[in-house]
Amino acid sequence: MPNYSTNEFKAGLKVLLDGEPCAIVENEYVKPGKGQAFNRVRLRNLRTGRIWERTFKSGESIPGADVVDLDMEYLYTDGEFWHFMKTDGSFEQIAADEKAVGDTQIWLKEQETYQVTLWNEAPIAVSPPNFIVLEVTETDPGIKGDTATGGTKPAKVSTGAIIRVPLFISIGDVLKIDTRTGAYVSRA
């Protein structure tokens, strides 16, 4: 991978920092009139999701990271690995471990498409689509017609996630859910 100098920094650039793959989130150029210029950079560690801040003297360079985001279809889990398949017609499969799948585990549905982040061709992160449609498998009996009181109850969906739903929802209902917040959106 090439090295990137601070004047090539921009949001989205994938770089290697302290041996970790990171994406630049924000890059601010700071220069006192007659002095050294700096780049104040916010980066997301792509493995942990944590935000790092780092200040570079302008002109410094850091190595790029071989990171690509691929749309992949979720197939199944064998208990140790979660298996995904490329959607480019190659049927090529990739196995992601628990660390890579992380919190996305509770949103994994077969045949749904996920964004799999590969670093040096190995999966390091899996992101769900923003909205996903899932079936309710467990919840208290629905209260018919109660669409107005605004009350909620817990419900478990087919992937194992537990979300808050309105009181009128019953087992077997199919829901649209926002995976970023875990919030119920509507009946699908």
Partner 1 sequence: MRAFFAARGVMELDTPVLGHTTVTDPAIESLTVEVGDRRIYLQTSPEYHLKRALAAGAPSVVRIGPVFRADESGRLHNPEFTMVEWYRLGFDLDALMTETAALADLILGAGKYRRTEYAALLEPVGVDVFTSPRATLEQALRSIGVGDEVRAWSRRHLLDYLVAHVLGSMTGRVFVTAYPPEQAALARVVSDAAGRRVAARFELVIDGIEIANGYDELRDADVLAARMAGDIDARRAHGQPLHAADQRLLAAMRHGLPACAGVALGFDRLLMLAERAKALADVLPFDYARS
Residue 98 phi/psi, 5° resolution? -60, -35
Kindly state the smallest distance separating residue 96's Cβ from partner 1, in Å: 31
The single residue among 45, 56, 86, 113 that binds partner 1, judged by CB under 8 A, is: 56
The one segment of 31-39, 98-106, 145-153, 170-178 that binds partner 1 by CB under 8 A: 31-39
Full DSSP string of the chain: --EEEGGG--TT-EEEETTEEEEEEEEEEE--TTS--EEEEEEEETTT--EEEEEEETT-EEEB--EEEEEEEEEEE-SS-EEEEESSSS--EEEE-HHHHGGGGGG--TT-EEEEEEETTEEEEEE--SEEEEEEEEESPP-TT--SS--EEEEEETTS-EEEEETT--TT-EEEEETTTTEEEEE-
Kindly state the smallest distance separating residue 184's Cβ from partner 1, in Å: 37
Size of the site for partner 1 (CB under 8 A): 20
Number of residues that this document lists for the chain: 188
The single residue among 1, 11, 36, 183 that binds partner 1, judged by CB under 8 A, is: 36
Cα–Cα nearest to 48, from 115, 124, 123: 124
Residue number with CB closer to partner 1 (58 or 105): 58
Q: Is 32 in the site for partner 1 (CB under 8 A)?
A: yes
The single residue among 25, 44, 48, 54 that binds partner 1, judged by CB under 8 A, is: 54
The single residue among 11, 49, 50, 57 that binds partner 1, judged by CB under 8 A, is: 57
The one segment of 54-62, 80-88, 105-113, 152-160 that binds partner 1 by CB under 8 A: 54-62
Residue number with CB closer to partner 1 (9 or 84): 9
The single residue among 25, 38, 102, 173 that binds partner 1, judged by CB under 8 A, is: 38
Which residues here bind partner 1, judged by CB under 8 A? 7, 27-38, 53-59
